[in-house]
Amino acid sequence: MKEEKKMEKVKEERVTYSLPIGPQHPMYVEAENLNVYLDGETIVDVDINVGYLHRGIEELMQRRNYLQNIYLSERICGICSGIHSMTYCQCIENLLDVNIPERAKYIRTMVLELERLHSHFLFLGVVGYEIGMDTAFMYAWKDREFSMDMLEQVSGNRVNYAMPTVGGVRRDVPNHIIPSMLKKLNHLEKRTEYYRKVFLRDRTIIARTRGLGILPKKDVERFSIVGPVARASGLKIDVRRDTPYLKYDDLDWKVIVEKAEDSQSRVMVKVLEIFQSIKILRQCLKKLPSLDREIKTKVPLVIPKAEAIAITEAPRGELVYYAMSNGTDRPERMRIRTPSFVNIIYSLPIILKEQQLADLPAIVASIDPCFSCTDRMTLIDTKSGEKKTVDETYLKKLGERRLK
Amino acid sequence: MVFRRFGERIVCYARRKSPWVLHLDTGGCNGCAIETFAVLTPRYDIERFGGLSKANPRHSDVLIISGAVTKKIESRLGRIYDQTPEPKVVLAVGSCAISKGVFHDSYNISGPLDRIMPVDVYVPGCPPKPEAILQGLIKALDVWREKYRI
């Protein structure tokens, strides 16, 4: 507390100007508000004001049945839509304690890796755009269309694939699309090799990313930052390796770790992860024709009282779903912990400290912010004006009250 | 035909040939936002029709708005609409903006969009494909021509 007050004083003395960025700003497509405190052009502190995109999905989930919730969870985020619905299905399968067919597991793994591909290409484009290098943006998004084509081939949709269902997947992957997918993967691999060179050697990119936005390893551990952002600071964590789900323990791939802790290493982690995704996809495509055709097991949709959890690795880090059932066809409580939430809220103030204002967009882009899954609710007592963020113990109490 | 001075008519004609686009996400899942972004990129290429993405409402002619409107962003949305100079068209992109979509019974949604501002073109889909958004934009230009008799 003392330290906090001291910091406040230091902040007040130094700050000469405070600059609001957003909610509508060229820096990012989504509506969010950053309040940047400046000393001249140096950033002293940042306040993050989220909540513009809060849609109350956790509460909506309690009002819908288990099947309807698949499509609601898909619409938490348009970029990670596949992983959200798949983790949801996995969580409900854990509630029911059922196993899904082998072919369904391979198809799910495939869709997840395709999604990682398109998300990482999107990220490369956005970094290029924020640096001011529009060519990189156009190139990366042009190549991203190939991964979107593959998703469309597999699922019929570009963004919300609606592939998984509780107990398997909804559509099979026919054998005749495999050669054309392999061809596209070859093309993407060639292009990624090019991006690796560009993001490692290009002078413009080095000037705007190398040595900027340092996120020390000890802060990563302190704030439990997850995913590629943590891996770029030298922490070897990946849910796919630590607690394998689907087929990841049978496939041959490795966790990418960079040690430089700066913006460039965060970009490089993602570039190198694209190679790993392509490797995983090739193995899946090779394995698919030899598998049994069954893609779905039948499951009951009224679930007795139980609790379950599912953890997966989204393109941006660890994603956790918690479900509590109460004997009806609707969940009693769903809780979702998304990777962007920790990555944005905790790492932004650290990596932006003492940086130049002009570097802000590039540094913010380097942690790959995605706000649509981040927005949380703060309860404000309208009579006393008291603010209260909903925490674990409060939710436990609420849950206990409802179970009685 | 509305009487206009010659210079003004030339400006209007030029504007129709180069619509500047502002995109705003008002609380959707980001799906429509990335598809709208994809419209700017080489595969679809909005610049074939003279379009250019501008983030400043004071510079833009076409507002592409996606997402079910949340309570927090509602007032901002009104301000952005007022800031856009007059010959303007509004595109509602995606099911959320048109009818609140899957979030229809949420406590924090105050949309749909046409309850907050007049909408000229609706592009349905969850999310609509980039081709659909492009066609919506072309339709918007026709609406514009009719509305302002350029």
Residue A10 located in a structural domain: no
**Separation CA A349–CA A127 (nearest Å):** 19
A400 pLDDT higher than 70: no
Beta strand A306-314 with A317-325 is antiparallel
A115-160 per-position pLDDT tens digit:
999 999 998 988 888 888 888 889 999 999 999 999 998 988 888 8
Q: How far is B102 from chain A (nearest CA, A)?
A: 7
Any A CB within 8 A of B70 CB: yes
What number of C-beta contacts closer than 8 Å exist between A and B?
Answer: 122
Q: How far is B123 from chain A (nearest CA, A)?
A: 16
Subunit contact A31:B25, Cβ cutoff 8 A = yes
Residue A395 located in a structural domain: no
The answer to whether the beta carbons of residues A94 and A308 sit under 8 Å apart is yes
Q: How far is A382 from chain B (nearest CA, A)?
A: 16
pLDDT of residue A132: 82
Any A CB within 8 A of B107 CB: yes
B positions 31-60 inside 8 Å of A (CB):
31-38, 41-43, 55-57
Q: Looking at residues A94-105, what average pLDDT do you find?
A: 90
ipTM summary value? 0.87
Mean pLDDT of chain A: 83
**Separation CA A187–CA A82 (nearest Å):** 23
In chain B, whose CA is at the least distance from the CA of A373?
B29
**Separation CA A28–CA B45 (nearest Å):** 20
Residue A42 located in a structural domain: no
A204 pLDDT higher than 90: no
Nearest by CB: B55 against A25, A56, A57:
A25
> Virtual CA dihedral for A279, A285, A287, A289, nearest 10 degrees?
-170
B71 pLDDT higher than 90: no
Top-confidence residue, B11 or B142: B142
Q: For residue B111, what pLDDT band results from cuts at 50, 70 and 90?
A: confident
Q: Looking at residues A232-242, what average pLDDT do you find?
A: 89
In chain B, whose CA is at the least distance from the CA of A118?
B34
Residue A27 located in a structural domain: no
In chain A, whose CA is at the least distance from the CA of B64?
A29
A397 pLDDT higher than 80: no
CATH topology of domain B6-148: Rossmann fold (3.40.50)
Q: How far is A5 from chain B (nearest CA, A)?
A: 30
Subunit contact B107:A59, Cβ cutoff 8 A = yes
Q: How far is A10 from chain B (nearest CA, A)?
A: 32
Any A CB within 8 A of B23 CB: yes
How many domains are there within chain A?
1
Q: Looking at residue A195, which CATH number applies to its domain?
A: 1.10.645.10
pLDDT of residue A379: 47
Question: Among positive and negative, which fits the CA dihedral A233, A239, A243, A247?
Answer: negative
- Contact list in B for residue A159 (CB cut-off 8 A) is 31, 34-35, 127
The answer to whether the beta carbons of residues A163 and A82 sit under 8 Å apart is yes
A12-58 per-position pLDDT tens digit:
667 777 777 767 776 666 777 788 888 878 888 888 877 788 888 88
What are the residue boundaries of the structural domains of chain B, listed by start? 6-148
Angle made by CA atoms A154, A156, A159, in degrees to the nearest 5: 100
**Separation CA A224–CA A66 (nearest Å):** 31
Nearest by CB: A71 against B102, B105, B107:
B102
B80 pLDDT higher than 60: yes
Any A CB within 8 A of B68 CB: yes
